[in-house]
């Protein structure tokens, strides 16, 4: 049995996988929804949820631990000020993975990973109001 045996390696070296997860987590927090392959979305979920939990703790040590993974200061600020407040009453389960079919070029299964309180179309409404 292989119960609780490690993580999905995604066919990459450790440093490449770590860099990819950092970039994907930064994009997820910035845009609140990204589309990727299903395997990458499943690998990103625990990584991102751990960072949101650090944001909820909110102390300086947590901010420094999260800054190891998110190098964009604006996204880090959004995580600790905006997202942490939105998820303050929630005890985990901050992201959802929605399967969207397959990619045209290589038939890879794709998925959306988004924050649970993401409202589709909210960005378009804000942009229309600004215009």
Task: Report the C-alpha gap between 119 and 16 in whole angstroms.
Answer: 32
The tokens describing 103, both together, are: 């990619």
The tokens describing 107, both together, are: 């038939």
Q: What is the pLDDT along the chain (131 residues), one digit of tens a residue?
A: 988 888 889 999 999 999 999 999 999 999 999 999 999 999 999 999 999 999 999 999 999 999 999 999 999 999 999 999 999 999 999 999 999 999 999 999 999 999 998 777 765 433 444 44
Task: Please name the helix (run of DSSP H) or strand (run of DSSP E) that holds residue 35, with its range, or none.
Answer: strand 33-37
Which residues are paired to 110 by β-bridges?
37, 101
pTM, whole model, 2 decimals? 0.86
**110 close to 102: Cβ distance less than 8 angstroms:** yes
């Amino acid at each position: 049995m292989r119960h609780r045996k490690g993580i999905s390696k995604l066919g990459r070296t450790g440093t490449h996988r770590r860099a990819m997860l950092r970039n994907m987590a930064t994009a997820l927090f910035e845009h609140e929804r990204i589309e990727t392959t299903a395997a990458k979305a499943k690998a990103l979920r625990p990584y991102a949820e751990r960072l949101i939990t650090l944001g909820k703790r909110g102390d300086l040590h947590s901010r420094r631990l999260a800054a190891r993974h998110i190098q964009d200061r604006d996204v880090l600020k959004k995580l600790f000020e905006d997202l942490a407040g939105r998820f303050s009453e929630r005890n985990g389960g901050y992201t959802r993975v929605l399967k969207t079919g397959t990619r045209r070029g290589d038939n890879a299964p794709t998925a959306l990973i988004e924050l649970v309180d993401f409202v589709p179309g909210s960005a378009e409404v804000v942009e229309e109001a600004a215009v």
